[in-house]
Structures are given as structure tokens and as C-alpha cells.
Structure 1
Amino acid sequence: MSVADRFKLQNKVALVTGGGRNLGRAIALSLAEAGADVVLTGRSLPEMEKAAEEIRKLGQKALAIVMDVTNLSQIEEAVQKIISAFGRIDILVNNAATRSHKPLLEISEAEWRSVIDTNLTGAFLCCKAVGPYMVRQGGGRVINISSRAGTRGRADVSAYCASKGGLNQLTQALALEWAPYGILVNAVAPGIINTDRSYEGATAIPSIPRERVAAIPLKRAAEISEILPLVLYFASEACSYTTGQIVLIDGGSSAQ
């Protein structure tokens, strides 16, 4: 098998949570471009259906399912639909996320729980639901979309930092736990990305995004297209000896 062939995903089935917009949508499309059939889950069916139609135009099968990653019964129901439709799940991308941009003393318990439940517990629940099928298949790929905020604290986003830090530890612990089954677990940890979600938490204080971008060695935010190759690597046979890694894509910020 050539190096290029190792990045192909023919006959693979991928599940992407939060797949209707921004990074999740782009990940879903990129996996389809590599040959995978893709299932998108999220809360907005119209957005996901649009992405699913684009995937079908690429010649791949696509399925859009309304699913809340904080609800185990919904996740299990979605997984059953996927198994019924495709017979397997080879790739799980835990992308669904939310954030709260407030000082800790102003965060309500409900806001804290919403961030932790979506970003951390949601990934746990999806892994719990999908894992048994990957074990039976003899392998799989889990890709957690983390953040630089999971490796370094930042003021006013304590819940988000805690959730992504926990996701990093879950990534490494699960990589060890599932290695005997041939399931590889890795995380992609971007810094600032040019998406709606990256900036919405900072709109109340317009100077924060400009200052943060100026502090990046490459002096710009990442484009979504610059995140996708690493996700594809982790999803593919090219990644056959890589597990338990949290790889930052942050324009050099973590080197400072």
C-alpha cells in the first residue's frame, strides 16, 4: 500500500458529532472526500441535511440524525440507526462543543454543567455507545476535538478549559484501555480558528480576539482547512502506530 493509499477511507463509516456547521461540517466533508460514508449528528436537522446532501454529491452515503450528546438514550438510539444502515462504525469524531465566556464567579452551576456535560461527558457517552461495536469489529479510530485551552488555562473560560483538559486525559486513558482492541484514540487541539464559534464568546469584549491573534507567532488565526489534514491522518491507516496523542495546531503559541 502506497503512502497516499493509506490516507484513503473507502468502505469506512464515520460518525461526526456537531456535524452540521463550522469545523464539524468541514470534517464530515473531508472524510467523505477521502472515501468514507458519513453520519452527522447535532441539534439542527436542516444544517445537517445540507451537509449530508453535499456528501452525497461526492458519491458517498450520508445520514443526518438529531442527537444530543448529553443524552445517552439518544446516542444509543442513533448508534442503532447507524448500525442498521451501515453495519459498522469505524471512525468516531467527538466534535460537539459549547463554551461559556464568563469569570468563574459569574458562571452559574447550570452553565458550568452545560459546558462539562457537552464537551467532556458527551465524548465519554459517545465512546461508551460506539466502543462495543469497534471492539467487535477488531478496531477503530476515535478522534476528540480538543483545544489549546485544554493544555493551558485562560481567564474567563474556566469551564471550557476544564472540559478540554479532561477530554485530553480521557483521550490518553482510553488510548491505553482500548489499545488491545486495535482502537486508536487521539485528539486534535486547535488554537483560535476562523469559525463563528471561536469568536462568539469574545464578542462582548472586542479587544480580546485582536490581542490573542497578535500574540500568535504566525500572527493569524487558523483556517478550518488547516485542521482537516490532521483529522484525516488520525482517521486513516496512515495512523496505524499513533495513539494517545494530543496534537496542537496553534500557529506556534504552545512553543512560547
Structure 2
Amino acid sequence: MKKKVAFVTGAGSGIGREIAIILGERDMNIIVADIDRANAEETVSILKQHGAEGVAVYCDVTTLESVKEAVSETLTHYDSIDVLVNNAGWDKVEPFLESNPSTWKRIVDINLMGQIHTCKEILPVMVENKNGKVINIASDSARVGSSGEAVYSAAKGGVVALTKTLAREMARHKINVNCIAPGPSDTPLFAEIGSYNQGITKALEKAIPFRRLAKPTDIANAVGYFASEDANYVTGQTLSVNGGLTMV
């Protein structure tokens, strides 16, 4: 049988890289889409070590033109995209009243518009194939809020709403659209956030019932479920992966 193709944004590092590895181990060919080409190539090398195949593609999700070019390049390597994982994200933690419009725009452009751009370009490919899985990465902050992350939480809330609406529109085409809402995770982005608040990691570990931050593999395994045939009858859902930090 022909291998499925997964397009993973922000796959050059952190959670995105782990998602690429997990899907590669599940016999998928991986498009490693990232704004950092060197990191993307490194992920491809790791995939090969795991016996999987991957292709590094430059993709700036904040611009529709860049996404179009990335999808076009993908279709020169493979004739379909079967799984889309919208993982690329960024945040700057600071009190809302101390934030500025340039930061708001970057947060919204990456976390919300980036997912809109990829869905706009890749869903038509899935519609033509009458099959596909979309997994959007949101955040638990979208569901319960998070101090210092007002605009990020708003953008991720938009991702949850986008997921539900696209799930309704795409169901007739046999396309599943679901969302994962990670809690605090041990990633390079969280390390950057932690530099603003040296005590945040210990405080969160005390608050999380499992007493640890999420590992990238925790999130990647949830993506693996939504991308699998086990989730064929699941759509429009938001799954929190947070060690019990919030229960909604």
C-alpha cells in the first residue's frame, strides 16, 4: 500500500520534531516544514535514523504565498498530502498592558493565521482525494486562559473555533479535523518563556497532578492517535494533554 504523507509545520525542533518522528515510525512519509531550513534538514536526518523518509521544505506560515510554495514543492515529491499537523507556534509572555501591537501581530500571524493559511492550501488536496486528517495544535490557555498570554490565548482560542467549523464543513469529504491543547511542555519555547519567570517550572510541577511538564512525546502520541484509523469517527474535538493541570 502507498504510504501516507504528513505535512508537519514547525517540525524543525521541539514538539514538531517529535511529531515528525512518531508519524514516521507509523510508516508515513514526512514533509518537515519549517522557517529554519537547517533545523528541518536535521529532523530529516533523524527520521532516516529511525528508518523513515522525510523531505525538508521551507515554510513561513505567516504568509499565504510561502505556504503555497511549500505545498507546491511537496506535491513535486509526493502526489498527495494525507495528514496536516499545524504545529508551528510562538509566544512572548508578558502582562497584556505591557505588550505592544507588533507582538500581537506576530502572535496572531503565527498561531492563528498560519493554520488558516495551511488549511486553505492543503484542504483542497484532501477534498480531491476524499480523505484526510487535520490536527491543529492549540493550547490549554485557549480553554482556561493564562496570565501573561492574553493574545496567545485569544489566537489559540481561534484555533479551537476554526477546528470545529472546518470539522463540520469537511465531514462530507471524509476529512477529520481535530485539535490538541497541550499544557505546559518541556520545549525550547517554554525554556525561553521560563527565562522571564525563574520559578515558573517548579510552580507548575507542583500544580500538575503528574508532577511534571509534558514531554514532546506526550503531545506527539496524541497527534499519532488523531492521525490514525483509530480516530476515523472522531472530528471537531479538542483533546487536552496536560497531566491533569486543567480538567474541562
Query: Which of the five TM-score ranges fits, normalised by the shorter chain?
Result: over 0.9
Query: 2:35 is matched with which residue: 36, 39, 43?
Result: 43
In structure 1, which of residues 78, 84, 103 is the aligned counterpart of residue 76 of structure 2? 84
Instruction: Give the alignment partner of residue 66 of structure 1, picking from 53, 58, 72.
Output: 58
Superposed CA RMSD in Å reads 1.4
| Partner in structure 2 of residue 99 of structure 1 | 91
Number of matched residues? Answer: 248
- 1:75 is aligned, of 46, 67, 70, to 67
TM-score (norm 1): 0.93
- 1:151 aligns to 2:151 (yes or no): no
Aligned residues of 1:70 and 1:118 also touching (Cα < 8 A): yes
Distance 1:253 1:48 in 2: 32
**Aligned-residue offset at 1:209:** 2.4
Shift of 1:45: 1.1
Distance in 2 (CA, whole Å) between partners of 1:154 and 1:240 is: 32
Contact kept in structure 2, 1:199 and 1:209, CA below 8 Å: no
Structure 1's 252 and 10: CA in aligned 2 closer, same or farther, altered over 3 A? farther
What are the ranges of 5 or more consecutive residues in structure 2 without an aligned counterpart? none
Runs of 4+ in 1 over 2 A off after TM superposition: 56-61
* Corresponding residue number in structure 2 for 1:141: 133
Question: SS at 1:227's partner residue?
Answer: helix
Alpha-carbon distance, 1:137 to partner: 0.4
Q: What percentage of residue pairs aligned between the two structures are identical?
A: 35
Q: TM-score, normalised by structure 2?
A: 0.96
Deviation of 1:10 after TM superposition, in Å, equals 6.0
Is residue 229 from structure 1 mapped to residue 221 from structure 2 by the alignment?
Answer: yes
Instruction: Return the alpha-carbon distance in structure 1 between the equivalents of residues 124 and 233 of structure 2.
Output: 21
Per mean C-alpha deviation after superposition, the further-off stretch among 157-166 and 202-211 is: 202-211
Deviations 1:138-167 (A, max 9, x none): 110000111111111111111111111111
Offset at residue 115 of structure 1 (A): 0.4
Equivalent residues in 2 for 1:161-200, closer than 5 Å: 161-200=153-192
2:118 pairs with one of 95, 114, 126: 126
User: In the alignment, what sits opposite 2:16?
Assistant: 24
